Every structure is written in C-alpha cells, then in structure tokens.
Structure 1
C-alpha cells in the first residue's frame, strides 16, 4: 500500500453546544465522518462542515448513528432491521442535501458509536447498514472495522469495504475495540498514538492491551475529533504517516 487516509468524526456539535474544532481538523484530515443529526449534529452544523470540507478537498462521509442525541449514540438500541435501514437512509439523504449545496456529494458511509460496535458483531444491524447502502448507492464504500460482521456482510453484498484503524483507541486480543468503560479503552500519549497509526498503516497490525499483536489491515486511520488536543494529535499522526505513505482520501 502506498497511500493512507486520515479521518475524523466531525460536525458533532448541536445547537448551542460545540464539540471539537471542526475547522482546524478539516485542515488536517483527508476524510470527514460528518454526524447526520441523529446522535449529534444539526442542519447548520452539517452545512458548515460540508462547505468547509469542500473548500479543503476533504471527502465527506455520512457518520450514521442511532436516534439518540441524549446518549451521543453510544448506547446500544435494538432495532427491527427495516427500521434501522430507514433511519440510516434518512441520515444519508440529509447529509447529501448539504453536500450538494456545497458542490459535492456523500462519498462513503461509516456507522457511529454503539451502531459501529453492534454492527461489528450483530448480523441484523450489520444487515441493516448493508441494506441502506444498497438502497442508496451500491458504489458507495463502507468504512468499518476489518474482519467484522459488517465488513463480511458488505463484501458478500458486493460493496466496497474500507478497513479502518483507531490510533487513539485500545484493542482487545480478538481485534475488537476495548469498551470505553474499561481500562485501556483510550490511548492518550501522542507518541503512542502516532506509533500505532504508522504500524497499522504500514504493517497492518496493532498491539492489543494484553500485548498480543493483532492483524489490522486498514486503508484509513481515525483520530477522534472529541479527544482533548485532537487537532495537535491529528497533525502529529498525519506527519508520522506522511513520513511513510502518501496521505490522501481513499475515495
């Protein structure tokens, strides 16, 4: 692999509440996972982020989540497959409107929070994500955890699957993310975050919390926009990646 994408979750403010420095991050990352109003975000925020992303040549992806503003989409919700599919389609359509207003389009889809983690292991919710993408545009890539139930289901449906690694999150020996409520869930030291990002991008592996080396073939690295010091961290990660690979959008 000669190139790598750097993404961040953006547009996660809502009304009077702001979260992270979207404008600064959009000068660093190559792809933006934009909240679509269900777990975070609102119309004005979505329009602003889409416009700034277009101005900076940053690819916009739909960061779709549960209908859960109060819980920031980090609480698992049980859905009927069709209902979840329709909620996802609704979010993609909303973001597409603001992308079109900015002269662009939604380039890919990434689940957020509890939906991301649930679709990684649950065939029903993974199937709902796949159904939504097939209904919207079968050519639209799905950004997700390598080897997950969602990755397998999307590939079997003929969708383009883009493996994602988290430079600032801990991994278990089974390749899954450590729950945020558990020790080792977050990686704070900038040097460690950069080293993990480069290792995933170059060697396709990550060191789990127990020391196990876990395969992690990725085409995109995520740095969370709500992490304290996220902008400086993203800059450090991009510099580290750029020393090994060409940093550019995967779409």
Structure 2
C-alpha cells in the first residue's frame, strides 16, 4: 500500500495557434506537470505560460523530452544516433529549465514522451543516451534529476550505473499488457475514457500496486506516481475523478520531486 502518491499529467502540448487540452484546469488537479519541451509539441510561449501557471499553483515541473517529431506528436519510433539523442535530450532539459527558472521555478524531474518513453523502457542503447543526458545536466540542487519510467524498465539499471535516480509510474488511463507494458495506441481499447474505471484503477495502483491487464492477468506495478494523459478527451474530468478517488481512499497526493 502506498499512502503517498504523485499525480502527473502531460501539459503544454499545443503549438502556435493550435491548442491541446486544458492546461490551467489540469494544473489545479495534478501535483506534477510533464511539460513538452518543443520537440513533440510546445513552443517558447506555451512553455513560458505553462511554467508560470505551474509555479503559481505549486505544481512540480518536469521536462517531457521526446524524439524530434512535431508532425507525429513524438509517437513515431525513430532510430536516432545515441550521441545525437543524448544532445537533443540535454537541449530540451536545458531549454525548459531556463524558462522555468525565469518564471520562479525549476525543472525537478525528467519524463520521456511517447515513442521515446516506450523505446527507452526496452532499448539499452536509447535508454543510455537519455540517462547520459540527464547525468550531464546538474541542476541547482547539485544532484541529477530523477527520471520517470515504468517498473521493470531497463532505464532503472542503466540509471543506477550513472547515479541517476528513477521513479516508477503507472498509467490510470492506459491499458496494460501481461508483461506490464502499455498496450500500443494502435490497438483498440488502449486508452481508457470512463472516469469511474480510471479512478478505480488509480486507487488500486496506489493502494495495492496492482493492475489488471487486457487478458485478465494481475500485474504488479508498484509506483510512486500515477499519470493521466492531458491530451485524452475529457482529461480534466478523468484527473478530477482520480484525485477525488485517491483522497477518498486515504491516499495523500504529493509530488515525488
């Protein structure tokens, strides 16, 4: 049973005149904001506004780093040279942290996005490129930023070798495979939309560290943070339902950062 849990969401994922999700409403619900750094979504103005709003609400700011894939929203898997990927992740963290500091906050963790998240869970080479970038960026606290990742991800072992902390997370609004990974978004039913179902899953994740996979298998996924995607239709309703259910179950909502 985890009596303390973080509730995170992906934010700042618009671009120019195109908006996605209700960032301000979600910032009133979550404890951590995974802010797009401009590679899969986001631009300087959106980043600035999102960071300022997060600081105003006391919400932790995380760098949501991605493959350079605006057209595909960072959800297309890419083979990127490790040195190049390391540099691009470092660039994204640095850019977001600079703006966050100008707004009175700072980046307190890193979370890969989309295809990079899934690839780094299983691909040692890509995972090490991400970890190396995080290890290279030392914030004001003087120690590397933690990385959010799935339980069982290869990132955990690689990060330990770099003395980079990791934090396990679960996804209240995503379907799971029996192996404890996320069902591909190409598959029907991969994203969950019913607020009651999503809230109940979040409570079980926090209280029991378990989730039921698509085949009925019970999977152990002990996690410190629960994610609700900000780009999911009805994301605010989902997040509010999750928060209400967690607090109602006696779980304290608090950022791990």
TM-score range, shorter chain: over 0.9
What is the Cα deviation at residue 187 of structure 1? 1.3
**How many angstroms does 1:34 deviate by?**
0.1
Q: CA deviation at 1:151?
A: 2.3
Counterpart CA distance in 1 for 2:159 and 2:188 is 31
Q: Distance in 2 between matches of 1:102 and 1:247?
A: 24
Once the two structures are TM-superposed, the CA of residue 79 in structure 1 deviates from its matched residue by 1.0
Q: Secondary structure at the match of 1:60?
A: strand
Residue in 2 that maps onto 1:9? 10
Equivalent position SS for 2:73: coil
Which shifted more, 149-158 or 78-87?
A: 149-158
CA deviation vs aligned residue, 1:191-246 (integer Å, no higher than 9, x gap): 11011111111111111000000010100000000111111110110011112211
Partners in 2 of 1:109 and 1:240 — Cα distance? 27
Shift of the 109–183 alpha-carbon distance from structure 1 to 2, 3 Å rule, reads same
Kindly state the Cα deviation for residue 15 of structure 1 after the two structures are TM-superposed.
0.4
2:194 aligned to 189, 192, 199, which one?
Answer: 189
The correspondence for 2:204, drawn from 194, 199, 202, is: 199
Gaps of 5+ in 1: none
1:160 Cα deviation from its structure 2 partner: 1.4
Matched, 1:107 2:113: no
Structure 2 equivalent of residue 58 of structure 1: 59
Stretches (4+) displaced over 3 A:
none
Unaligned stretches of 5+ residues in structure 2: none
SS of corresponding position for 2:28: coil
Task: Give the Cα separation in 2 of the matches to 1:32 and 1:151.
Answer: 22
TM-score, length of structure 1 as denominator length: 0.98
Partner of 1:94: 95
| 1:248 partnered with 2:257 | no
Aligned pair count? 251
Cα shift at 1:139: 2.6
For residues 58-103 of structure 1, give each alpha carbon's deviation from its aligned partner in whole angstroms, at most 9, with x where no partner exists: 0000000010100000000101111100000000011011111111
Distance in 1, Cα, partners of 2:26 & 2:195: 16
Aligned counterpart for 2:154 among listed residues 128, 149, 152? 149
**CA distances 1:116-163 after superposition (whole Å, capped 9, x unpaired):** 000011001100111011100243110111111112221333221111
What per-residue deviation string (whole Å, max 9, x for no partner) do you get for residues 26-85 of structure 1?
011000000000110000000000000000000000000010100000000101111100
Judge conservation of contact 2:7–2:253 (CA < 8 Å) in 1: yes
SS in 2 for 1:49: helix
Q: TM-score, normalised by structure 2?
A: 0.96
- Aligned pairs for 1:70-85 (under 5 A) are 70-85=71-86
Q: Distance in 2 between matches of 1:159 and 1:122?
A: 17
